Amino acid sequence: MDKKITVQDILGMKGKRKITMLTAYDFPLASLIDKAGIDMILVGDSVANVVLGLDSTTKVGMTEMIHHAKAVTRAVKHALVVGDMPYESYQLNPKESVKNAKRFIEEASCDAVKLEWFQQCLEVTQEIVKAKIPAMGHIGLTPQTADKIGGFKVQGKDAEAAQKLIEQAIALEKLGCFSLVLECVPDKIAQIITKKLKIPTIGIGAGLYCDGQVLVTHDLLGLFERFKPKFVKQYVNLSALIQKAIEEYKKEVIEEKFPSREHTFTIKEEELRKLE
């Protein structure tokens, strides 16, 4: 468990066992996820929605992503850490994409970067791979450009749209991506892509046939209450537990039950008397 997972390890898992991946944006959750033996941790731009209270992932930039990625890599001993390239870092500024990808590796100690599909995706991915930075692709529902693909909807639902996804997947593999996120894709299309590729597919809302699965950790822990997509399974409702604990604290402070003796420092009576 102490050995750090490499890109080669991830490639070798295809067809042998399912790959696990979760998001993390800070030290405590990254540490718990790593101790649970999850294979890959994504410092996702979903930090915008689930931590920063923003309404779009396009609203986080390199400054925020590097800050969060550093906190994650400080905690992780085992998992492969993937830094999610924010919108401005490669879609708004394609010429800056290699420099920004390098910042994830050199400044934040990530092991790889992830890029969502967009018009110039192939050119940008090629440059990043040429710079020897391990790259993970992301096709299907790409939240950074949701406005250009009909909104937050399942993608590849007819033969023509599905064919485009298959072609994107093959092109990204050819360029040297080491894995591919498939988001909100019909399960049978994810199965076709998974069978066609030698690199592993990691699904989110893409069914059981992918080589691995990723979820936003705050969704599975019940820590994000604004909306819950169909593909999310909430394993625990931490929001309810946290709310209850905070209300209990408030009540105990008001009722002078906290701090009790066990949480209080004391001074000897004789020392106190010297002050009188």
List, by residue number, the catalytic residues: 183
Give the closest residue to 46 by CA, choosing from 63, 68, 30: 68
Give the closest residue to 79 by CA, choosing from 43, 53, 119: 43
How far apart CA 183 and CA 195 sit, in angstroms, is 17
Shortest Cβ distance from residue 247 to ligand KIV (Å)? 30
Give me the residue label for tokens 């030698």: 198
DSSP state string for 126-191: HHHHHTT--EEEEEES-GGGGGGTTSS-----SHHHHHHHHHHHHHHHHHT-SEEEEES--HHHHH
Task: List Cα–Cα distances, 231 to 2, 126, 158, 215, 253, in angstroms.
Answer: 32, 31, 20, 9, 41
Nearer to ligand KIV, 186 or 212 (CB): 212
Shortest Cβ distance from residue 159 to ligand KIV (Å)? 25
C-beta nearest to ligand KIV: residue: 44
Shortest Cβ distance from residue 41 to ligand KIV (Å)? 11
Nearer to ligand KIV, 225 or 248 (CB): 225
Nearer to ligand KIV, 44 or 186 (CB): 44
Shortest Cβ distance from residue 114 to ligand KIV (Å)? 7
| φ, ψ dihedrals at 146, nearest 5° | -55, -35
Shortest Cβ distance from residue 67 to ligand KIV (Å)? 15
Shortest Cβ distance from residue 253 to ligand KIV (Å)? 36
Nearer to ligand KIV, 86 or 186 (CB): 86
CB burial class (10 A; 0-12, 13-18, 19+) of residue 35? Answer: middle
Nearer to ligand KIV, 23 or 89 (CB): 23
Largest CA distance in the chain: 88
C-beta of residue 58 within 8 angstroms of C-beta of residue 99? no
Binding site for ligand KIV (CB under 6 A): 23, 42, 44-46, 84, 181, 204, 214, 216
Structure tokens at 193: 């892509």
How far apart CA 8 and CA 40 sit, in angstroms, is 13
- Residue 199: how many CA atoms within 13 Å on its side-chain side? 23
Nearer to ligand KIV, 226 or 268 (CB): 226
